[in-house]
């Protein structure tokens, strides 16, 4: 005798979210269960495509379905009832701000490799270089064409090996020209980038913020539905002091801090492979302990991954010795995005069994 939809849902209560510590049904992460022709169609309130933890949760759901003698058909769906903004950037699932308290810590390099790393996993990704005065993204992710313009005068971002990129650096006649702009003009360019770019459908929009806690950063936090922020620092005490200020800024604007990336954590000798803590060790741990935020990873100093970055995303370079560290950071950030989104669902949805299946997208 075939299992019923209610019985299958009860079995799904045995699948626990490893980050939150409760089962996916109690958390409201199961939108709908439907069985048709020996196929179980399950709608899940997941919103972090290709995050390792959500992929694993999906595999565990499939195992439950297959153990029940059914074929699994999983979909992912979230909307306003789950707590997600559907008005600002409705075709962008997650906006991730990458910030630093001061310049020169490798923030842009981390942002570019995060975007490229998520795209490498299969996600649709855009990268907005919001560092108006220091637009360095095109140096790391050189684009394949000039920006386009739609009939509605929206900017169409060019691509860099699959990542859609827009940057003030593309608006300069010469790459060495300085962006000499006062506050109102900076805000004007920022709003054009926020409202006047046709990104298409994106799983992740990575925003490389200007360093510090100035107007441009505050305007972005007030204008976009930011899923969470990634703070980049180095082990040096001066950088850590500014990092604390950045975290406080995000906390005051109710923007979740996904965690801290410690760049230049140690020097990897290219000859012998030994690591040396040139700027001290464990500096980010003090931030993690004080503000109760995750350490997303440590990236060593290496000749092909300095503070100024390099042409091309090393997360895609199989010959780079720092590729593994970068992939670990990308996976950890994706998992924290998934956890943040699932917690949002659990706070906004009271689970009630239903047979109504909403319009969905494939997971």
Comparing C-alpha atoms, which of 128, 196, 189 is closest to residue 160? 128
Chain CA centroid to CA 196, Å:
21
Is 105 flagged in the annotation as binding? yes
Comparing C-alpha atoms, which of 263, 306, 301, 315 is closest to residue 127? 315
Is 344 flagged in the annotation as binding? no
Is 306 flagged in the annotation as binding? no
- Which tokens is 180 given? 């000499």
Question: Which are the contacts of 343, defined by CB distance < 8 A and separation ≥ 6?
Answer: 20
Is 255 flagged in the annotation as binding? no
What is the Cα–Cα distance from 38 to 49, expressed in whole angstroms?
Answer: 27
Is 106 flagged in the annotation as binding? yes
Is 83 flagged in the annotation as binding? no
- Cα-trace Rg, the chain: 21
What is the Cα–Cα distance from 124 to 204, expressed in whole angstroms?
Answer: 7
Cβ(126)–Cβ(206) below 8 Å: yes
Question: Which are the contacts of 54, defined by CB distance < 8 A and separation ≥ 6?
Answer: 46, 48, 335, 338
Q: Binding site membership: which residues? A: 101-108
Binding residues for ATP: 101-108
């Amino acid at each position: 005798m075939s299992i019923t939809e209610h019985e299958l849902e009860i079995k799904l209560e045995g699948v626990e979210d490893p980050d939150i510590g409760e089962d996916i049904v109690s958390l409201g992460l199961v939108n709908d269960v439907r069985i048709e022709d020996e196929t179980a169609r399950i709608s899940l309130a997941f919103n972090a495509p290709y995050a390792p933890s959500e992929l694993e949760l999906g595999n565990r759901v499939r195992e439950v379905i297959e153990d029940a003698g059914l074929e699994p058909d999983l979909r992912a769906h979230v909307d306003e009832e789950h707590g997600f903004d559907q008005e600002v950037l409705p075709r962008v699932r997650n906006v991730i701000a990458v910030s630093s308290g001061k310049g020169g810590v490798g923030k842009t390099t981390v942002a570019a490799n995060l975007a490229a790393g998520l795209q490498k996993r299969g996600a649709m990704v855009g990268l907005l270089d919001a560092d108006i005065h220091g637009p360095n993204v095109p140096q790391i992710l050189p684009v394949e064409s000039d920006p386009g313009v739609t009939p509605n005068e929206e900017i169409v971002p060019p691509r860099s090996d699959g990542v859609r990129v827009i940057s003030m650096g593309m608006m300069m006649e010469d790459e060495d020209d300085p962006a000499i702009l006062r506050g109102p003009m900076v805000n004007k360019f920022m709003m054009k980038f926020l409202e006047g770019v046709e990104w298409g459908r994106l799983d992740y929009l990575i925003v490389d913020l200007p360093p510090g806690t100035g107007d441009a950063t505050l305007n972005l936090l007030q204008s976009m539905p930011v899923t969470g922020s990634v703070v980049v620092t180095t082990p040096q005490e001066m950088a850590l002091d500014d990092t604390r200020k950045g975290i406080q800024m995000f906390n005051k604007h109710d923007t979740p801090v996904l965690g801290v990336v410690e760049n230049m954590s140690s020097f990897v000798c290219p000859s012998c492979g030994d690591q040396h803590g040139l700027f001290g060790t464990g500096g980010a741990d003090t931030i993690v302990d004080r503000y109760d935020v995750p350490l997303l990873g440590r990236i060593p100093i290496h000749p092909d991954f300095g503070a100024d970055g390099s042409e091309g995303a090393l997360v895609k370079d199989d010959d780079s010795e720092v590729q593994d560290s970068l992939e670990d950071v990308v996976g950890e950030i994706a998992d924290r995005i998934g956890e943040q989104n699932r917690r949002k669902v659990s706070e906004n949805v009271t689970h009630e069994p239903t047979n109504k299946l909403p319009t969905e997208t494939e997971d």
